[in-house]
Amino acid sequence: MELGFFDGEFISMEERRVQLEDRGYQFGDGIYEATHVYNGKCFALDRHLARCRRSLRELRIPITYMDEELIAIHEDLIKKSGIKNGVIYFQITRGVAKRSHAFPESVVPLLSMTIRESKTNTKWQAEGISCTLFEDIRWLRCDIKTLNLLGNVLAKQASHDKNLQGTIQYRKDTNLITEGSSSNFFVVKDGVIWTHPISNLILKGVTRSILVEEIIPKLGYTLVEKAFSPEFARYADEAFATSTSLEVTPVVSLDGTTIGDGKPGEITKALLASYHELVKKECGALS
């Protein structure tokens, strides 16, 4: 059963509770996180909470929830909803105040959450996905996980319009790929794994961090955190996208060019298998 949490209470998804002058609603003035639930347990929640704190700090939204409280609400949502495999979304907005751009005084940030059933697309993982390229038109603080997602929404729609599964964005001024519309992006060339470095131009994905800090060193692959062009990506041997929901999903075609032999690559498959091992270790099972 889907379930929501709003302003301190568990509520049904149908309940109408949005406050008209919530700054999240009017300005996109807030942050969010989405965490994968496997076997009734949140995966990598500590990393999501650390990123949430960073996003709040960068937007100068005060922290009014302890990690322990947020963890407890995540656990309650899982228990009350009965959902074993799904996604917990949470957002914190700057709060409710008379509409005016500058920060309001004496408002308390507002937390809302939802839990929904969802399953990783194992067909995509087995066969790979085809992606379109789209100019990255987002603002220059893509490192903050804010509610302002219009650039990402337009990017994602570009692949929907073409009946493709994903969108990879590139900056026109540099002709360099940044990331997917809601994923990080990697290529493999001559056995070396490439991905955009951490900067203001990409989100530091939790999945990306797990790969870069834990899995790639463990498997002994070489990684370069360096931006690359769409042409370089097209002629890579392998490519893949990472996110909380995609995990590690092979990309087998980019803007009409087949990548490698058009099948998920060996390094991509090894990274996904290792990611699944980590999930099993932390959550007990994959589903």
Q: H/E element holding 88?
A: strand 86-93
Q: Which of residues 27-66 bind ligand PMP (CB under 6 A)?
A: 34
The one among 45, 113, 203, 215 contacting ligand PMP by CB under 6 A: 203
Task: Measure the CA angle with vertex 209, ends 204 and 256; round to 5°.
Answer: 70
Minimum Å gap between C-beta 9 and ligand PMP is: 26
CA distances from 16 to 1, 6, 88, 96 (A): 18, 10, 19, 16
The one among 130, 146, 165, 207 contacting ligand PMP by CB under 6 A: 207
The one among 159, 243, 253, 268 contacting ligand PMP by CB under 6 A: 243
- Stretch near ligand PMP under the rule CB under 6 A, chosen from 99-107, 205-213, 216-224, 257-265: 205-213
What three-state secondary structure class fits 285? coil
> Please, what sign has the CA dihedral across residues 70, 75, 76, 78?
positive
Minimum Å gap between C-beta 134 and ligand PMP is: 12
The one among 184, 195, 249, 268 contacting ligand PMP by CB under 6 A: 184
Minimum Å gap between C-beta 254 and ligand PMP is: 17
Instruction: Check binding of 167 to ligand PMP (CB under 6 A).
Output: no
Q: Is 278 left (phi over 0), alpha (psi -120 to 50) or beta?
A: alpha
Q: 143 φ, ψ to 5°?
A: -75, -15
Instruction: Check binding of 211 to ligand PMP (CB under 6 A).
Output: no
Judged by the rule CB under 6 A, the positions of this chain that interact with ligand PMP are: 34, 152, 179, 182-184, 203, 205-208, 242-244
